[in-house]
Amino acid sequence: MSFAVLTVTQLNFYAKSLLEGDERLQRVWLRGEISNFTNHYRSGHLYLSLKDESAAVRAVMFKNSAARLSFAPYDGMRVVASGRVSIYERDGQYQFYIDDMQPDGLGAMYLAYEQLRERLRAEGLFDDSRKRPLPDYPARIGVVTSEQGAALQDILNILKRRWPVAQVLLYPVQVQGAQAPGQICEAIDYFSRTGAADVVIAGRGGGSLEDLWAFNDERVARSIAACTVPVVSAVGHETDFTIADFASDLRAPTPSAAAEIVSPDITAVGESVTQMGCALRRLLEESIAAKSGRLHALTQAKALRSPLFALDAHRMRVDLLQERLYDAAFRIVSSKKSGLAGPAAKLDALSPLRVIARGYAAVFDEAGAAVTGVGSMHAGQLLRLRMRDGEADISVRSTETEAER
């Protein structure tokens, strides 16, 4: 009896052919718990095992299928997965190739909602510090919703009743379906980029979780958070909460409530303006009365009734100041005279004129210079004598010094 000798490659290929040839194994649904979960972020492939109480099977979910997941798998999560059975020839390992996967016992959409909310919350996208205040008196109100929806009519009716002076700018979008998130982002980005509105209402009427899902999209949440204009979310009914509610500057329980929130009551504003006008009028009247009293008092002043009266007062002050100036100058001059009396007496005592008055004479040469000694004289020199009662011209006959005697 002869036996065929196979290579390992041939064996694995044959086993793979048998598994892939069984149509029942090409569309299989498995319920199990995820273990050994690995997310290859570079490739985008997910590697895991699915197990129950008695057994486990290795599984892989390739990038193109994993990209469609609306939740993040993790170890211990119970799931229902669909796919096919085959063998990885290189290792001879039979495994489950997953095409789709849903949480078991918890809706995938709700789980995705919870996971996204927690991730954005941890990122700080919902922090109160990011919230912007709404304008008190908006001149332009942007609305992002369906043009055919009842929510739009509710918003318009309330704005027309409460704040008809505002201009309402509608940016129509789909509010459910695959195209809705992109259109909502475009609308919000438009108001953010252009500043065409002072505040924006984004929302729709109530519905199921699936109907409201566009407002749970991460792109919508980020557009709202990045918007330069305050955004009020108005999605669904009072009990409905979406990711957009947390990312917006203010959540309104309904579209009608959003219109109430962003618009002041024009009747109340009018009454307030009237009250302020009355208060202003009273203040003006009181101010005018006070100024009139002051003006009357001024008109009764003597300076206004008789301008010369004011001049007389200034003249008297000038005279007083002039008298004070004269007195001060006299005192200064007297003080200076007293201070000079002593030195003047000493100078007078030393004055040559005083000596001449006692019988002496002063001698000057022809040039007018004083002659102080015989040594500066010579015979025949003409001199002038200055005496107490006059002057005389003399001629020198001879000279004799003390040494020559």
Q: Model confidence over 18-70: pLDDT tens digits?
A: 988 898 999 898 999 999 999 887 888 999 999 999 999 999 999 999 988 87
pLDDT profile of the chain (405 residues), mean per 10:
80 88 90 92 90 94 90 89 92 92 76 86 94 96 96 96 96 95 97 97 88 93 97 87 95 95 92 87 89 81 65 76 86 81 72 67 81 80 83 84 72
User: Whole-model pTM above 0.75?
Assistant: no
The type of residue at 304 is L
Determine the Cα–Cα distance for residues 246 and 233; give it in Å rounded to an integer. Answer: 9
Domains in the chain, CATH or no CATH each: 8-106 (2.40.50.140), 137-264 (3.40.50.1970), 354-404 (no CATH)
The type of residue at 253 is P
Tens-digit pLDDT profile for residues 129-159? 999 999 999 999 999 999 999 999 999 999 9
Neighbour-count burial for 223-244, b at 16+ CB within 10 Å, e otherwise: bbbebebbbbbbbbeeebbbbb
Residue in 201, 224, 208, 211 with CA at minimum distance from that of residue 154: 201
Quick one: tokens of 242? 């979406």
DSSP state, 134?
A: P
HSE-CB of 221 using CA atoms within 13 angstroms:
23
